[in-house]
Amino acid sequence: MTRREAPVAPPVVLAIAGSDSGGGAGIQADLKTIEAGGAFGTTAITSVTAQNTTGVESTHVLPTEEIDAQCEAVCSDMDVAAVKTGMLATSEVVDLVTERVRATDAPAVVDPVMVAASGDRLLASEAESAYEDLVAEATLVTPNADEAGVLTDVTPESEAEAREAGERLVDLGADAALVKGGHVPGESVVDVLVTGDSVETFRHPRVDTDATHGSGCTLSSAIAARLAHGDDLVDAVGAGIDLLARAVRYNLDVGEGPGAVHHAVELRDRAASDATAEAVEGVVQSFVDRDVGPLVPEVGLNVAGATPYAERPDETAAVEGRITRTLSGAHPNRGVRFGASTHVARLLLAAREHDRALRFAANCRYGDDVATALDELDGPVAEFDAGERTQNGQERAVERGVAAAFDSVDETPSAVVNRGAYGDEPLTFVLAREPDALVDRTLTLLEVVESTPE
């Protein structure tokens, strides 16, 4: 039997940029990110670079007529919903791309690529002034601090200076400018979006890594994909920044130099959601079958499972309403869903700052019998003081406490004990990389507790 076709029609994004043989930046990064964003990526390659994670070895700029022919081939056949530009290399190419962008009604994201993350120059100095005309045609221009300095004579070192640089780019004709803060020192990365009538500031913690190859390409492509779907500009920028923050943290460790950002990190994370929820359900069923009632604390026991690249509590699956102790044994109040836990989820996420392979946790009661049982676990046990509070509140206190607990042991602990404070019940948090290990460790505690005379 012949099956009927079932075609889909994703929005088309045209990426006009250079090729990176190392796969982390350029056209390669664009296509990976656009596909992960649910759009269809097409290309007009401006140049071919021989590069890897350690640097750019050579560059060959294609003839402008060949670049134009690629643009024409795509635009004459497909309904391009967004354009993004990257490495353009020479003033002639910049001029050509300016004309192409001017001729299309699709939103255009201009990433003014001038220098690679390795420090190698990717734009001829005489081509810098040609960018003014392209900026004037942009829906959004996305310079880093150094590129903003070239384009506006303001090299931002503060939020106020980033705003000034953005305003100058809008004065040049851009609908909006996103002045990126990745090159500006500080604990947080501050990105400033300036439009003709508003300023939006995006902040996220800086990731301690040199693996940022392809970050600019990935961000601009992610935004272009969202614009192609019809997203509002501010929403598209916010989604792109969130993606990049995660892509930098969970970077790809390839090559001898600093790795590349993880272009498909959000797609991979979403793909693991069902399996993660199923794993949590399996742990819960094991706890019900074995009746872990003697380990259930007064606040109830919960099981949390984080997706591989989880960053927020709503990206951890847990039991709605927790597991409680009843006359007939331990039972979950309701089913498993993402975002059902805050306390256990936050502790698990804090632990993942020290060992990203940790994905599962359960909170059990703590007492003298449990303290004895902890000696039987297959790894060290750490402690932290729940009484510590900071002006940033409970979440920050958990992060600081978990950090202190991990610093007190030589390897990833099998459990972390919160001895509690006035008004807080002492708890044992069992940690594991795999669901089976979480079950084994928890049941080890249960067996010892059950055999301990009252």
Return the domain boundaries, the chain. Answer: 12-270, 272-451
Rg of the chain over all Cα atoms, to the nearest angstrom? 26
Q: State the Cα torsion 437-350-425-302 to the nearest 10°.
A: -50
What is the model's pLDDT at position 399? Answer: 87
User: Rounded to two decimals, what is the model's pTM?
Assistant: 0.90
CA–CA dist 290, 162 (Å, integer): 58
Q: pLDDT tens per residue, the chain (454 residues)?
A: 899 999 999 999 999 999 999 999 999 999 999 999 999 999 999 999 999 999 989 999 999 999 999 999 999 999 999 999 999 989 999 999 999 999 999 999 999 988 665 555 556 566 677 889 999 999 999 999 999 998 999 999 999 999 999 999 999 999 999 999 988 888 899 999 999 999 999 999 999 999 999 999 999 999 999 999 999 999 999 999 999 999 999 999 999 999 999 999 999 999 999 999 999 999 999 999 999 999 999 999 999 999 999 999 999 999 999 999 998 889 999 999 999 999 999 999 999 999 999 999 999 999 999 999 999 999 999 998 765 544 445 667 788 889 999 999 999 999 999 987 656 789 999 999 999 999 999 999 999 999 887 6
Q: Using the structure block, give the residue that is written with the tokens 């201009």.
A: 110
pLDDT tens-digit series, residues 66-122: 999 999 999 999 999 999 999 998 999 999 999 999 999 999 999 998 866 555 555
Three-state helix/strand/coil letters over 108-153: EEECCCCECCCCCECCCHHHCCCHHHHHHCCCEECCCHHHHHHHHC
Domain 12-270 and domain 272-451, same fold? Reply is no
Core vs surface per residue 115-136: b (16+ CB within 10 A) or e: ebbbeeebbbeebbebbebbbb
pLDDT tens-digit series, residues 58-71: 999 999 999 999 99
Domain 12-270: what homologous superfamily?
Answer: Ribokinase (3.40.1190.20)
Q: Identify the CA nearest to 18 among candidates 87, 83, 113, 75.
A: 87
- Looking at domain 272-451, does it have CATH number 3.40.225.10? yes
